[in-house]
Amino acid sequence: MVTDPQAACFEAGIKFGSLYHQFAGTPLSPSSARSLERAMAESIENQPYCESVRVEILDDALEAELNESSADYTELTGEFMEVEMRIEYEGVTVRTKMEMEDGYPLMKLVSVEE
């Protein structure tokens, strides 16, 4: 009733939702960006079938936001990061990506390969 590629895609989605909603709202500045990237990636890599996570805080978007508001820090939202993940489930490899599209952070399936 459920195929391995479908289950692999479900697992991939779980990791994305987890990453986003665990860390959205975290206080963020240029000086704390690198440690947050690393902690996000390493914590989500703990989850089952999650082979690799790469998080990139977008320094330019962050600096632009801070310049505009003249604040020292902001809160993490999707507009300040790009994420790539690779999920391995029962021989299926799923690649996913989150990036901004038309002003919104979009989580998408890049490929599903058996």
- Binding site residue list for substrate: 11, 107
Site mask, a second copy, residues 81-100, x = CB under 8 A? ---------------x----
Residues 56, 58, 61, 77: which binds a second copy (CB under 8 A)?
77
Shortest Å distance, C-beta 71 to a second copy = 7
Q: Strand, coil or helix: what is 53? A: strand
49 burial (CB, 10 Å; 0-12 / 13-18 / 19+) is middle
Shortest Å distance, C-beta 66 to a second copy = 11
Residue length of the chain: 114
If one asks whether residue 31 binds a second copy (CB under 8 A), the answer comes out as yes
Cα-to-chain-centroid distance, residue 65: 20
